[in-house]
Amino acid sequence: LTDPLVLFMPSGKRGRFPKGTPILDAARELGVYVESVCGGRATCGRCQIEVQEGQFAKHKIVSSLDNISVMGGRERRYVDKRGLADGRRLSCSATIEGDLVVDVPQDTVINAQVVRKSPIERTIERNPAVQLCYVEVDEPDMHKPLGDLDRLKAVLERDWGWEDLLVSQHIIPTVQATLRKGNWGVTAAIHQDLDSSRPTIIALWPGLHNEAYGIACDIGSTTIAMHLVSLLSGRIAASSGTSNPQIRFGEDLMSRVSYVMMNPDGRVAMTKAVRGAVNALVEKVCREGGVDQDNVLDAVFVGNPIMHHLFLGIDPTELGQAPFALAVSGAVHSWGSELGLAINFGARVYVLPCIAGHVGADAAGAVLSEQPHHQERMMLMVDVGTNAEIVLGNSQRVVAASSPTGPAFEGAEITSGQRAAPGAIERVRIDKDTLEPRFTIIGSELWSDDEGFEADAARLGVTGVCGSAIIEVVAEMYLAGIMSEDGVIDGALAARNPRIVADGRTWSYVLHQGTQKILITQTDVRAVQLAKAALYAGIRLLMEKLGIDHVDTIRFAGAFGSFIDPKYAMVLGLIPDCELAEVKAVGNAAGTGALMALLNRDYRREIEEVVRRIEKIETALEPRFQAHFIHAMALPNKVDPFPKLAA
């Protein structure tokens, strides 16, 4: 008779096992990650699974609750004490008695976007770099003079298979007290990132310790975003963000590099500022999630190259000038204590690799999240900031570059530009006949010609235009015939329309006449043209590199991408022609990538390998950049066709 077949979902891994095999053992053998802290003593409750009932034709399995053992003593005791949700069983105690389809509940990870679009849900299979292992250590014996720590290591090897364990130095002085306090039962946190690295005891608690958390953090030049996640369930306990306090040293990246170059203590001050903000955020997410900071055992960081360097305490001066040399491009393995992080003293830190001098670990995180290297179709990913990071490719080849778009897309250097905040104009439409605008402001659901808008406007003010509105208003001005395809505002309209007003020798469009007049000037239009031309020229260079004339799908990463309407991005020629339905905003993809690397160390190896083979292009050195740039100054482009847009 053949042994029963067991199929694990969602991984789809399966195998045959003799009747009576604990389901946890079968999972282990197949490499299915099921958490266990107590080592199968039915006390931690971490190994829960669910049995699916029904016929699974493809796998020829009839799975039913009759094929799993009835609840035995240990499991019963657990249920009496702690309870179990309907349908759940402890896989360390329940055994295989027939064919089974076993669901390993992956507490679904939500990509909590910092924006107002609907969140993206995805499931990340867990294989964290830190595991909790409960053991019961033999009491000391005068006749076997093995040290307490040595007996702990021996039992961790015997019960959990950890060979060749290292021990963090700070644990050693505490071992004896911890063992006695736990009455010889202790929980060790073991860290192993690379399969080839030696596992290390990084924390030790008396008794059964059932909580292990990690943080995934994206350090942006403007905003720092963080998730606090249970390493045992994958559940996000809290997510939050804060503004990067380095802004006081300079709005954009280059001004921060200059600050370091001009001030002897500049680097130290900026490192201190960013680490301080990270620590404040750790405290905040832990408070919100009801988690003791001491239970944070692993941390993953992403950031653009300059943020990456400053966070690690590296002088970013070299990144301010050609050849834009990174101090370190590979992944960084470090310790929370070395970086002054307010988490468990033994906690580890992993920083994703940087792709190039201007394409950072944040872009690597976005690659991990969107997976262009697994696509058949050609995917373009853009993260628009003062410096746009661009990645293009598919399973065959991936190329990356950055483009100096400047701060126009963030609302800086625009007459009435401002950051996205309540009161900022967000959406704009212009009537083609009357040239009258309608708009919305952040904080109100209403359009400016809706009833009740006046009250909202009085409450919030109409304060300026944010980045997404700048794209829309310029595109709408073009569509309404207010300006030519070269971006010149038509002064002849002023004679018959009060919305067009003289502004020195050029013309402006009056978007709003309130206490504060909001104008879109010729200079503003130029700033948008320069920014979009730089972005598009960078994208075209990469397309040329791959020898392609169109892309199949476009992903906008970052907050800015989530606000802009793809249609307007294409009307302006920010991005190449593409099916509109294939242009998607993916929110903080860099943060999602960090989360993936936190929950599953296989993703760390994946991104390290992908980054090694991404071909990097330095736009500043490419002679074709200038030609593409000049063509891209026109709306949408002087030479490149936009057939899908026309359709």
Which residues are near ligand FES by CB under 6 A? 36-38, 40, 42-47, 90, 92
| Separation of alpha carbons 276 and 219, rounded Å | 12
| Separation of alpha carbons 380 and 391, rounded Å | 6
132 or 483, CB closer to ligand FES?
A: 132
Q: How far is the CB of 160 from ligand FES (least distance, A)?
A: 11
Cα–Cα–Cα angle for 163, 165, 171, rounded to 5 degrees: 155
User: In 10 A of CB 455, how many CB atoms?
Assistant: 11
186 or 253, CB closer to ligand FES?
A: 186
Q: How far is the CB of 471 from ligand FES (least distance, A)?
A: 53
| Separation of alpha carbons 371 and 388, rounded Å | 19
Q: How far is the CB of 34 from ligand FES (least distance, A)?
A: 8
3-state class (DSSP) for residue 6:
strand
3-state class (DSSP) for residue 207:
coil
On the 0-12 / 13-18 / 19+ scale of CB atoms within 10 A, 586 is buried
Q: How far is the CB of 152 from ligand FES (least distance, A)?
A: 19
Q: How far is the CB of 611 from ligand FES (least distance, A)?
A: 36
Q: How far is the CB of 32 from ligand FES (least distance, A)?
A: 14
Q: How far is the CB of 644 from ligand FES (least distance, A)?
A: 54
36 or 463, CB closer to ligand FES?
A: 36
44 or 480, CB closer to ligand FES?
A: 44
92 or 531, CB closer to ligand FES?
A: 92
8 or 603, CB closer to ligand FES?
A: 8
How distant, in Å, are the alpha carbons of 238, 309, 328, 359, 362 from that of 318? Answer: 36, 10, 11, 14, 19
Buried b (16+ CB within 10 A) or exposed e, 594-613: bbbbbbbbebbebbbebbee
| Separation of alpha carbons 34 and 295, rounded Å | 20
Q: How far is the CB of 41 from ligand FES (least distance, A)?
A: 6
Enter the tokens of residue 504. 């020195």
Torsion angle of C-alpha atoms 625, 626, 627, 629, degrees rounded to 10:
80
85 or 495, CB closer to ligand FES?
A: 85
| Separation of alpha carbons 416 and 465, rounded Å | 6
| Separation of alpha carbons 45 and 80, rounded Å | 12
User: In 10 A of CB 144, how many CB atoms?
Assistant: 8
92 or 282, CB closer to ligand FES?
A: 92
30 or 421, CB closer to ligand FES?
A: 30
For the packed helices 361-370 and 601-613, what is the interaxial angle rounded to 10 degrees? 110
Q: How far is the CB of 50 from ligand FES (least distance, A)?
A: 14
Q: How far is the CB of 38 from ligand FES (least distance, A)?
A: 4
35 or 410, CB closer to ligand FES?
A: 35
93 or 418, CB closer to ligand FES?
A: 93
Q: In what order do the strands lie in the sheet with 553-557?
A: 583-585, 553-557, 379-383, 388-393, 398-403, 615-616
Q: Is the dihedral of CA 603, 605, 608, 611 positive or negative?
A: negative
Q: How far is the CB of 137 from ligand FES (least distance, A)?
A: 18
Look up residue 133 and give its amino acid: C
| Separation of alpha carbons 595 and 142, rounded Å | 48
Q: How far is the CB of 102 from ligand FES (least distance, A)?
A: 14
24 or 307, CB closer to ligand FES?
A: 24
**Which stretches of 16-59 are DSSP H helices?**
23-30
92 or 109, CB closer to ligand FES?
A: 92
Cα–Cα–Cα angle for 139, 144, 150, rounded to 5 degrees: 65
Q: How far is the CB of 605 from ligand FES (least distance, A)?
A: 27
Cis peptide before 404 (omega within 30 of 0): no
25 or 608, CB closer to ligand FES?
A: 25
Enter the tokens of residue 240. 């939050």
Taking a C-beta distance cutoff of 8 angstroms, is the pair 383, 557 a contact? Answer: yes
Residues 6+ apart with CB under 8 A from 171: 201, 202, 203, 204, 346
Taking a C-beta distance cutoff of 8 angstroms, is the pair 302, 364 a contact? Answer: yes
Q: In what order do the strands lie in the sheet with 437-441?
A: 437-441, 424-430, 464-465
Q: How far is the CB of 85 from ligand FES (least distance, A)?
A: 14
Q: How far is the CB of 200 from ligand FES (least distance, A)?
A: 22
37 or 595, CB closer to ligand FES?
A: 37
344 CA to centre of own chain? 23
